[in-house]
Amino acid sequence: MKLANKIAVITGGSSGIGLATAKSFVEEGAYVFITGRRQSELDKAVAEIGRNVTAVQGDITKLADLDRLYATVKAEKGSLDIIVASAGFVDVKSTAEVTLEHFDKTFDVNAKGTFFTVQKALPLLNDGGAIVLVGSCIHLKGFPQYVTYGATKAAIRHYAKTWAAELVGRGIRVNNLSPGAIETPILDIQFKTPAELDAAKTMFSQVTPLGRIGQPEEMASAILFLASSDSSYITGIDLVADDGMT
Ligand SMILES: NC(=O)c1ccc[n+]([C@@H]2O[C@H](COP(=O)([O-])OP(=O)(O)OC[C@H]3O[C@@H](n4cnc5c(N)ncnc54)[C@H](OP(=O)(O)O)[C@@H]3O)[C@@H](O)[C@H]2O)c1
């Protein structure tokens, strides 16, 4: 049990990488609070996880929702040991296609939402805790149409460095995970037709040495490593789990 008696908040815990992480954390002895905007997906996730889980519906771009999330954690458990900030948004657009609305939404969810997810958790987070931010390997490489998304993930990678330095006195470790292309719903919604999706999956597979898309469980095991004492001498890093793509 790598996370026995630990309390974790996992944003985006109703789907994909966040859901796989919530399942693995519970198997390792943790109690998890999961968030997401859609109550229907949260209900399904709670049923799948089965035990030691509370779902708190909310949007990470709304500070009142984050306050409500942490008020629930405080009321139910008193404090917190681990934050996994996995909630994220992607909408692929070339630079010429980017509108003000697209720009604001991408930065609102990924850059602003992730920032306040962590800032608002700090008073509840126990000394010796761990923060894992879910970025993207796209911040390391130029991919056409990922200009705004990649910039927000570069911001998140920077948060990890600064927060690692700011929180070192409390023994709180902060690390960033940079996933490659992973088989989750966020991959599907980026493309307008099944043919475009298939072409993108083929492209992503061809640019990775092992020639395949990753699975959310493979990200969950990397997050478990960063959240547990297995990585006790590691803070401020970017763990690139992209099958060598970048
Ligand atoms: N899959 C990939 O290929 C890949 C690659 C690199 C990085 N990532 C990153 O991995 C993270 C998780 O993505 P995923 O692949 O697991 O996608 P996913 O299966 O679509 O999960 C996204 C999760 O975030 C939640 N979410 C989205 N916007 C939110 C908001 N404003 N407030 C609260 N929750 C919100 C979603 O629930 P609701 O929609 O109900 O709110 C859902 O639970 C993201 O940060 C993504 O950028 C993914």
109-128 confidence digits (pLDDT tens): 999 999 999 999 999 999 99
Regarding the beta carbon of 129 and ligand 1, being less than 6 Å apart is answered no
What's this model's pTM, rounded to 2 decimal places?
A: 0.98
Regarding the beta carbon of 61 and ligand 1, being less than 6 Å apart is answered yes
Q: Compute the distance from residue 206 Cα to the ligand 1 centre, in Å.
A: 24
Which candidate, 83, 80, 161, 157, places its Cα nearest to that of 126? 80
Please state the φ and ψ torsions of residue 234, each to the nearest 5 degrees.
-125, 120
Segment 140-168 shows an average pLDDT of 97
Residues with catalytic roles? 149
Angle at 71 between CA 14 and CA 63, to 5 degrees: 70
Dihedral (Cα; 73, 20, 135, 92), 10-degree rounding: -120
Q: Are 153 and 139 in contact (CB under 8 A)?
A: yes
Regarding the beta carbon of 86 and ligand 1, being less than 6 Å apart is answered yes
Residues 198-233 pLDDT 10s = 998 898 899 899 899 999 999 999 999 999 999 999
Q: Are 85 and 11 in contact (CB under 8 A)?
A: yes
Q: Name the closest-CA residue to atom 17, ligand 1.
A: 186
Q: Are 76 and 54 in contact (CB under 8 A)?
A: yes
